[in-house]
Structure 1
Amino acid sequence: MNSRDRASRRPLQWPKVPVAALWLLLLALGNVAWAATPAKIAPLPPPTVLVFGDSLSAAYGLDAAQGWVALLEQRMAQARPGWRVINASISGETSAGGSARVVREVARVRPTVVVIALGANDGLRGLPPRETRRNLARMIGAAQGVGAKVLLVGMRMPPNYGAEYTQAFERNYRELSQLFDTALLPFLLEPIARDRAAFQADNLHPVAAVQPALRDHVWKALEPLLK
């Protein structure tokens, strides 16, 4: 075997590189790769109050800007800059309708606070309180499932519905609030309920002049959740 054959059988030897230099090389290559593939991180949504209500929250018979939710948005712009209000209220909405929409809406909006002001139409239709309770519970669970705080806004029925029904209806809100540990506003219309002049001709929907009172009423329960 000549010297050329012996040389060809020798194992390959890599040039010796100082360990520190090798680490610097790997770090540089890593930085290049990182720069070439920027991370795609979706921006966080602004803090948001999402309102689920019926015609009482949808400014029925009024310009949208006159309703208590629009007035609340104006108050928020002054008191909590950077926050936004989204009104998902629909005239005629029942708790079943809200329950059917809530998962999609909270997933889309990613709210910080959810105001649930439903149930009045359930009561006016004489629907069983247990159905309303089940629907409201689902809405609360969906909101809390995305990390939102909840303000549950209650309603009361006229006494002509009978004591058993009106008491069960009102009790739903209090018991759900305790069960799910939510904030509670027992009665949306409390500041104006005894004033006939506060309502439109149908004696159901508040006039524009009293909407600021409703906003202030809700604000007292809502503001602590904005911290």
Structure 2
Amino acid sequence: MQKIFPFSALIFLVFFCGCGNNSQPKTNTEKDTVKEASAEISTQKNILFFGNSLTAGYGLDDPGTESFPSVIQHDLDSLKLPYKAINGGLSGETTSDGKNRISWQLRQPVDVFVLELGANDGLRGIPVAETEVNLQSIIDQVKAKYPKVKMILTGMQVPPNMGQQYSADFKKIFPRLAQKNDMQLVPFLLENVAGIRDLNQKDGIHPTAKGAKIVAHNVWTVLKTML
């Protein structure tokens, strides 16, 4: 048995080594594919759309494809731009809620930040000064975390039944903040959508899928110049 064991062990060693060499080295084509995939991941940038139900796509059949950030993602993909549109919308959110939630969203890298909040403040009659302070707090937190981030603020308006003075003061929040913080401004997010029955859901507030495409166009007109 002592003479057979070394020979058996040798056979086992040869067999084991042979099995370990079955994997073939990657071809140049395979290596190139891996490199291209890695490069795509490393160069991809994130666009965070931070807002309320208008961003989330409330009431749409498929917010994953019909919300305005999703429509913009389609545009990005069509142009083969290395950007990922992240939908950070939450229905019912006020600027106060957003101020407390933004830190959680900033755990992921953000290259472009689109701020869409304020509509719910206006509908609830929250003091304009309070809304402005909350929006500034969100902007400050984003800048502190990502100093090189590019930023867009989407303007919003409230119906005249909130009072003419309140409506006028509310509308001025957005251009004032955009100028103060060197942000690009979408003058009115719901331009060519608000008040048009066929472009809004039954509540008269949230856009239909067709309306969301127009909203996406309103944002894209500004966003595309920054990419």
TM-score (norm. length: structure 2): 0.77
Change (3 A) 1:213 1:142: same
- Contact conserved, 2:43 with 2:82, CA < 8 A, in 1? no
Query: Counterparts of 2:137 and 2:218 in 1: how far apart (Å)?
Result: 25
Task: Give the alignment of 1:35-114 within 5 angstroms.
Answer: 46-62=44-60, 63-64=62-63, 65-106=65-106, 108-114=107-113
**Following TM superposition, by how much is the alpha carbon of 1:79 offset from its aligned partner in structure 2, in angstroms?**
2.1
Cα drift, residue 115 of structure 1? 0.3
Q: Distance in 2 between matches of 1:161 and 1:142?
A: 30
Answer with 1 or 2: which has the greater Rg. Answer: 1
Alignment check: 8 A CA contact 2:175 2:187 kept: yes
Q: Deviations 1:154-188 (Å, cap 9, x if unpaired)?
A: 11000111111011111110110111110001211
Deviations 1:117-138 (A, max 9, x none): 0000000111011111011101
Distance in 1 between the 2:182 and 2:131 partners? 18
1:176 aligns with 2:177: yes
Work out the number of aligned pairs and report it. Answer: 183
2:203 and 2:86 map into 1 onto residues whose CA distance is: 27
CA-based RMSD of the aligned residues comes to 1.5
Residue ranges of structure 2 left out of the alignment (5+ in a row): 1-40
Query: 1:21 aligns to what?
Result: none
- Is the Cα–Cα contact under 8 Å of residues 137 and 176 in structure 1 kept in the other structure? yes
Are the aligned partners of 1:49 and 1:85 in contact in 2 as well (CA < 8 Å)?
Answer: yes
Match of 2:58, SS state, is: coil
Q: Deviations over 1:71-129 (max 9, x none)?
A: 111111122432111111001011111111112322x1121110000000000111011
* C-alpha distance in 2 between matches for 1:58 and 1:112: 20
Match of 2:212 in 1: 211
State the SS of the aligned residue for 1:102.
helix
Question: Quick check: 143-152 or 180-189, which moved more?
Answer: 143-152
Contact kept in structure 2, 1:45 and 1:110, CA below 8 Å: no
Q: How does 1:133-148 map to 2 (within 5 A)?
A: 133-145=132-144, 146=146, 147-148=148-149
**TM-aligned CA distance change 1:100 to 1:80, over 3 Å:** farther
**How many Å separate the matches in 2 of 1:45 and 1:94?**
33
Give the superposition deviation at 1:57.
1.0
Distance verdict in 2 for CA 1:204–1:194, change over 3 Å:
closer
Which residue is equivalent to 2:37? none
Q: Which runs of 5+ in 1 are unaligned?
A: 1-42
Change in CA separation of 1:160 and 1:48 when aligned onto 2, cut-off 3 Å? same
Are positions 1:188 and 2:189 aligned together?
Answer: yes
Partner Cα separation in structure 1 for residue 67 and residue 156 of structure 2: 18
Identity value in percent: 36
Equivalent position amino acid for 2:225 in 1? P
Alpha-carbon distance in 2 for matches of 1:138, 1:44: 30
TM-score by length of 1: 0.77
SS in 2 for 1:109: coil
